[in-house]
Structure formats: structure tokens, C-alpha cells
């Protein structure tokens, strides 16, 4: 494998500043790491906020030390393996889960890496004050031609899946893990609150793949919602929040029973009342899993939860093992990623691509950098 000595990367030098194209030495993989040639890296809609506002919003969650390479959702080909790597080979196509953890604590040993006190999003931001130790070990990410990654982060992707589709795994995996925590099954009626956005549309596709009988999707934009319904008209019902109360609508759709599960996918800036309308749509024994980004404090009637065994969970990202399940669902066709419209840019256009997210067609547009 011909690996160049130098590689192109895009790095941010100051918070809110542009990503600057530079050349760095191509890294060598550590003993248990691989080197991946990045073929595609997804741009999540939240990225411009992370770059410009994150330090003020959540100062306790550190950005990588600057100058830093960002790029959360990389997919590519393994071009070199560390000397102690077993189970992965040069030439394999992979998605690189950006979730990094220590690998040795009890949480990590039980496949609950998010609960690790080192949990960090490679190429994005850290979740704890110890994240700098992870950034030190893994400073490379998706907005560069090559990156190192531990084998624990690698999801093998099927030949039928394009790198552009794999670069969408981040939010799909987040939705999938949330739906699993909500015990979604064939008999479930699932409400996806915020169904036309990047995360919500992922939730719709995963709920279909997991066999949920009925999916109720909310949003504002009627045109986008109609496109969501068109994915599976017999199983998906849609509702615009411009037309009234989500709770009343779910009540009517379920003969007064409520939704078995709610996946909240609302974006930052959405009012908490919309979140509460989703929560108050739960059936007895129902589960709401929040993967959305409603900010600030939310007043909740606790008796509503207690009196009917209702659950409220937060869920962050997904495990590499869950990524493998998604790859299998895609391989069998249960997870249909054909609805995405890929908008691919070279690394040189990374700043334009990040700022161009406002022109997207909801969650249907998949913004990808091909370094």
C-alpha cells in the first residue's frame, strides 16, 4: 500500500475561525490501532454550532486543543494495521466510531463506553475533563486524508454500502441506540418528535428497520413531513406542530392509548413545550428516550411518570457493536438508506459545506467531505 509521507488536513486554529487547509505528516498507527484512508466524512448539522459556540454553551465539555482536526463521522479503507492488531486487515472498508474511551474500566468492559470517565468524541469535543488524554492519543479525524483509530472503534461495512452512506452512521446509530433503549418491537407504536431532521429521519428509518408497526412523526415543515410519510405510507403517519397539539394527535392516532415509545429528536432552540407534548403522549408503561438537544430546564409532572410506570431516559451516541448491527440491517435491506441525497464536497470546500447546511432539505440531505 502506497502511503504518502504528507497528507492534507483542515484544521481550526481559533474558536469560530475557518478551517485552514494544511499539510501534516501522515501518522503511523499504534500497536492496537489502524490507519484509515478517509474516503468520506459526514458533516452533522450541529457542527457550525460546535465550532463557533460550544465553548460558551458547554465549557465543561472541552474542544480538542487547537489547532485541531475536526470531522466526526469518517468512513474509509484500512491501509495499515498496528503490529498487535488481530481481526482487521489492510483493504477492509470501515466506519470509524468517534466515541473513544479508556477500554479498561468497568463501563468499557460492559460495552457502556459512554459511561466511561474518559468518553470523548474524536474530531468533535470531549465529554469529560479527562478528554484531553484521548485527544492527545487520537488527534486525527475525518477532515484529513488519513487518521489513526483503535480497533474497538471500527465497524466493518458491507460492499453494498457506499462510503457516503456510512458517513451518515453517527446520527443513525444515535437514533438506533435510543430506540433499542425504548424496547422497540414489532407491536410498537413509536412517536418520533422532530421526524424530518437529520436525527429524526434516522429514527424513522431505524424504527422501520426494527419492525415497528406504526411510526408517528412530527415536525413543522409540511413538505418535508410528506416526504417522510412517502418512505412507508402504510406505516408512517405525520403531523405538523403548526396544526395543534402533538398529545391530542397521538391520542387520536392510538385510540387513546398513547405511544409505546417516544424518541425525542428536537434540535437546539426548540421550545421545551414541544418536548413535553411528546412526553405527555406516552402510553402507560411507555418509554421516552431523549437523543435531542432541547436546552435549559424542563418542568415535568413527576406523578405522570410514577403513576403509570413511564420511563424517561437520556441516550448518547451508540456503541461500536450497535454500529455492527446497523451494518447488518443495511446489508439485509431492512435499513434503507436510499432516501439520502448526498452532497459531496472536496476538503478544499469544507468551510462552504459547513456554512451551507442551512440550504439542506431537512434530514434527507447528507453533507459529506471527501478528503
Can you give the binding site for Zn ion, defined by CB under 5 A? 101-102, 105, 108, 116
Select from 298, 254, 259, 252 the least CA-distant residue to 278: 259
- At 95 the three-state DSSP class reads strand
- Residue 114 CB, shortest distance to Zn ion, in Å, is 10
- Residue 119 CB, shortest distance to Zn ion, in Å, is 8
Asked if residues 170 and 44 have their Cβ atoms less than 8 Å apart, the reply is yes
Instruction: Return the sign of the alpha-carbon dihedral for residues 31, 33, 39, 41.
Output: negative
Asked if residues 241 and 193 have their Cβ atoms less than 8 Å apart, the reply is no
Contacts 24+ apart (CB under 8 A), 86-91: 87/151, 88/34, 88/151, 88/154, 90/1
* Residue with smaller CB distance to Zn ion, 24 or 102: 102
**What is the length of the chain?**
371
Distances (CA, A) of 229 to 7, 41, 222, 341: 43, 28, 10, 17
Whole-angstrom distance, CA of residue 106 vs CA of residue 103: 9
* Residue with smaller CB distance to Zn ion, 105 or 300: 105
Instruction: Return the sign of the alpha-carbon dihedral for residues 316, 60, 155, 69.
Output: positive
- Residue 109 CB, shortest distance to Zn ion, in Å, is 8
Whole-angstrom distance, CA of residue 88 vs CA of residue 91: 9
* Residue with smaller CB distance to Zn ion, 108 or 216: 108
| Alpha carbon 106 to chain centroid, angstroms | 24
- Residue 128 CB, shortest distance to Zn ion, in Å, is 10
* Residue with smaller CB distance to Zn ion, 102 or 339: 102
Helix axes 320-332, 198-209, angle to 10 degrees: 70
Q: Is the peptide bond before 67 cis (omega within 30 degrees of 0)?
A: yes
* Residue with smaller CB distance to Zn ion, 62 or 200: 62
- Residue 131 CB, shortest distance to Zn ion, in Å, is 12
- Residue 140 CB, shortest distance to Zn ion, in Å, is 21
* Residue with smaller CB distance to Zn ion, 119 or 239: 119
* Residue with smaller CB distance to Zn ion, 10 or 116: 116
- Residue 107 CB, shortest distance to Zn ion, in Å, is 5
* Residue with smaller CB distance to Zn ion, 116 or 227: 116
Q: Are strands 341-346 and 259-264 parallel, antiparallel or unpaired?
A: unpaired
Whole-angstrom distance, CA of residue 196 vs CA of residue 44: 14
* Residue with smaller CB distance to Zn ion, 131 or 274: 131
Distances (CA, A) of 321 to 42, 183, 326, 357: 20, 17, 9, 30
* Residue with smaller CB distance to Zn ion, 106 or 297: 106
- Residue 125 CB, shortest distance to Zn ion, in Å, is 18
- Residue 281 CB, shortest distance to Zn ion, in Å, is 36
- Residue 101 CB, shortest distance to Zn ion, in Å, is 4
Q: Categorise residue 198: left if φ over 0, alpha if ψ from -120 to 50, beta otherwise.
A: alpha
Residue sitting closest to Zn ion (CB): 116
Amino acid at each position: 500500500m502506497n502511503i504518502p509521507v504528507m497528507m492534507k488536513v483542515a484544521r481550526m486554529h481559533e474558536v469560530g475561525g475557518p478551517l485552514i487547509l494544511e499539510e501534516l505528516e501522515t501518522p503511523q498507527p499504534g500497536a492496537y490501532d489502524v490507519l484509515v484512508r478517509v474516503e468520506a466524512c459526514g458533516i452533522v448539522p450541529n457542527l457550525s454550532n460546535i465550532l463557533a459556540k460550544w465553548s460558551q454553551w458547554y465549557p465543561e465539555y472541552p474542544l480538542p486543543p487547537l489547532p485541531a482536526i475536526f470531522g466526526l463521522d469518517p468512513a474509509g479503507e484500512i491501509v495499515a494495521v498496528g503490529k498487535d492488531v488481530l481481526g482487521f486487515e489492510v483493504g477492509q472498508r470501515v466506519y470509524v466510531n468517534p466515541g473513544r474511551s479508556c477500554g479498561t474500566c468497568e463501563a468499557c468492559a460492559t460495552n457502556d463506553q459512554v459511561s466511561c470517565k474518559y468518553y470523548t468524541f474524536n474530531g468533535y469535543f470531549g465529554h469529560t475533563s479527562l478528554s484531553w488524554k484521548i485527544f492527545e492519543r487520537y488527534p486525527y479525524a475525518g477532515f484529513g486524508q488519513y487518521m489513526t483509530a483503535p480497533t474497538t472503534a471500527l465497524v466493518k461495512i458491507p460492499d453494498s454500502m457506499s462510503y457516503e452512506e456510512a458517513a451518515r452512521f453517527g446520527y443513525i446509530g444515535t437514533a438506533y441506540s435510543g430506540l433499542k433503549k425504548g424496547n422497540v418491537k414489532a407491536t410498537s407504536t413509536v412517536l418520533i418528535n422532530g421526524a424530518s431532521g437529520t436525527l429524526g429521519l434516522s429514527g424513522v428509518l431505524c424504527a422501520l428497520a426494527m419492525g415497528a408497526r406504526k411510526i408517528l412523526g412530527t415536525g413543522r415543515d409540511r413538505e418535508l413531513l410528506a416526504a417522510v410519510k412517502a418512505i412507508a405510507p402504510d406505516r408512517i403517519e405525520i403531523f405538523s406542530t403548526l396544526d395543534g397539539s402533538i398529545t391530542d394527535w397521538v391520542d387520536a392516532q392510538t385510540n387513546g392509548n398513547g405511544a409505546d415509545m417516544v424518541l425525542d429528536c428536537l434540535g437546539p432552540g426548540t421550545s421545551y413545550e414541544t418536548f413535553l407534548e411528546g412526553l405527555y403522549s406516552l402510553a402507560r408503561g411507555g418509554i421516552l428516550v431523549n437523543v435531542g438537544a432541547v436546552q435549559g430546564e424542563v418542568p415535568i409532572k413527576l406523578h405522570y411518570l410514577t403513576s403509570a410506570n413511564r420511563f424517561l431516559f437520556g441516550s448518547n451516541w451508540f456503541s461500536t457493536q450497535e454500529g455492527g448491527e446497523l451494518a447488518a440491517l443495511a446489508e439485509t435491506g431492512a435499513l434503507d438508506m436510499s432516501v439520502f441525497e448526498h452532497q459531496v464536497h472536496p476538503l478544499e470546500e469544507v468551510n462552504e459545506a459547513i456554512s451551507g447546511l442551512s440550504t439542506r432539505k431537512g434530514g434527507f440531505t447528507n453533507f459529506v467531505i471527501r478528503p
